[in-house]
A = this chain, B = another copy of it.
Amino acid sequence: MDQKRTSAVGFSLPLRVYIEDTDAGGIVFYVNYLKYMERARTELMRSLGFGKEFIFNNNSMFVVQDISLKYLQTAHLDEELLATAKVEDCGAAHVLLTQSVLRDKSVLARGSIKIVCVDKVSMKPKRMPQEMYRALVATSLGAIKGEGQF
A interface residues, Cβ below 8 angstroms from B: 16, 18-20, 22-27, 29-31, 34-35, 38-39, 42, 51-52, 55-56, 61, 63-71, 73-74, 76-78, 123
Contacts and interface: CB of A to CB of B under 8 A. Distances in A.
Contacts of A52: 77-78
A95 to B, nearest CB: 15
A62 B71 CA distance: 13
B55 A19 contact: yes
A67 B65 contact: no
Nearest to A31: B34
Contact of A35 (B18, B27, B65, B69): B18
A74 B20 contact: no
A66 B68 CA distance: 8
Contact of A19 (B24, B66, B69, B71): B24
Contacts of A66: 69-71
A26 B56 CA distance: 11
Contacts of A71: 63-66
A19 B54 CA distance: 11
